[in-house]
């Protein structure tokens, strides 16, 4: 014979059965106690994680504010000190390059902290995507010039405006362009295209680089993941940029993707809906 015990939890009836009288009540009490203990432990753990994220955000923000003026001063020195000795100019250039890398890394880490905390701020407005792309490519021409890589733009006529955060969209586009240049050989071309596709704005960055092996494409767009493909000019890579770009695009209600073939280059692309509500990025 079975002995049953039950209790109403919110709108549900929980029944337990046992062949031993009174045993079902004991089991239920034990399970309830364990559940409460685990819930409390989870609350403590989540609070601890949140505190760590807050501290990381503050540190990254302060580091960025410290490095930015150093980089600005170095850039001014390189522009104005025409009479400086070649050896001194070389040292200043090395410091400037190291500062630029450090600033990019700290900025990425700050974005990661904000994403983990679900605090990525989007300042959205209606933007002329075509004009934004042209300005961004123009600003990034120097990246290609240094490696003798040509940047070109192809935008379909009549491309609609999108509701998005212009600074964040530029961040995504700059990441895609810099990656394309980073993995391309001198003398090649990087093409940025934008057109309407299935009711969305589709932006593509096509390179003529080395391409990515099919089995490694799945690593892209995830934090701290890299492929075996090496930059053609010895550039640094943190494994953060593409993951941040994905979260930014998804926060706009869009999607990122890549098509690649070894020896023939890659096409990194992102989609933005013309009119769509913003949503929080996914947590990792």
Q: pLDDT class for 50, splitting at 50, 70, 90?
A: low
Instruction: Express each pLDDT in 172-200 by its tens digit.
Output: 998 899 899 999 999 999 999 999 999 99
The residue among 258 and 244 whose pLDDT is bigger is 258
Share of the chain above pLDDT 90, in %: 30
Q: pLDDT class for 29, splitting at 50, 70, 90?
A: low
Instruction: Express each pLDDT in 69-106 by its tens digit.
Output: 666 677 777 776 666 677 777 777 777 666 666 666 66
Instruction: Express each pLDDT in 164-177 by its tens digit.
Output: 999 889 889 988 99
Q: How far apart are CA 235 and CA 147, in angstroms?
A: 11
Count other Cβ atoms within 10 Å, centred on residue 148.
11
Distances (CA, A) of 283 to 95, 244, 251: 36, 12, 11
First to last CA, the chain: 49
The residue among 38 and 220 whose pLDDT is bigger is 220
Model-wide pTM > 0.75: no
CA-angle at 33, arms to 27 and 34, nearest 5°: 90
Q: pLDDT class for 24, splitting at 50, 70, 90?
A: low
Q: How far apart are CA 185 and CA 164, in angstroms?
A: 33
Quickly tell me which residue has 């990441």 as its tokens: 175
Q: Which two tokens stand for residue 37?
A: 């203990």
Q: Answer yes or no: is pLDDT of 283 > 50.
A: no
β partners of residue 17: 4
Highest-pLDDT range among 27-36, 75-84, 233-242: 233-242
User: How many residues can be counted in the chain?
Assistant: 284
């Amino acid at each position: 014979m079975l002995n049953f015990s039950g209790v109403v939890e919110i709108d549900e009836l929980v029944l337990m059965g046992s062949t031993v009288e009174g045993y079902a009540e004991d089991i239920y009490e034990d399970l309830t106690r364990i559940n409460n203990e685990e819930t409390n432990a989870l609350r403590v753990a989540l609070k601890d994680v949140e505190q760590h994220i807050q501290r990381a955000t503050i540190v990254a923000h302060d580091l960025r504010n410290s490095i930015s003026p150093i980089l600005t001063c170095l850039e001014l020195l390189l522009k104005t000190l025409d009479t400086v000795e070649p050896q001194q100019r070389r040292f200043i250039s090395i410091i400037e390059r190291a500062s630029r890398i450090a600033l990019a890394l700290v900025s990425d880490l700050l974005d990661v902290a904000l994403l983990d905390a679900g605090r990525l701020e989007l300042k959205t407005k209606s933007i002329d995507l075509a004009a934004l792309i042209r300005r961004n490519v123009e600003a990034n021409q120097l990246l290609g010039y240094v490696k003798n890589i040509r940047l070109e733009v192809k935008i379909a006529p009549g491309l609609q405006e999108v509701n998005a955060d212009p600074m964040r969209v530029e961040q995504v586009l700059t990441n895609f362009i810099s990656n394309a240049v980073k993995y391309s050989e001198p003398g090649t071309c990087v093409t940025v295209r934008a057109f309407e596709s299935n009711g969305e704005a589709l932006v593509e960055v096509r390179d003529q680089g080395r391409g990515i092996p099919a089995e490694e494409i799945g690593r892209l767009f995830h934090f701290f993941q890299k492929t075996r493909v090496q930059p053609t000019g010895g550039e640094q890579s943190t494994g953060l940029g593409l993951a941040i770009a994905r979260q930014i695009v998804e926060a706009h209600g869009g999607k990122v993707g890549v098509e690649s073939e070894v020896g023939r280059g890659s096409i990194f692309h992102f989609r933005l809906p013309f009119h769509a509500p913003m949503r929080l990025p996914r947590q990792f």
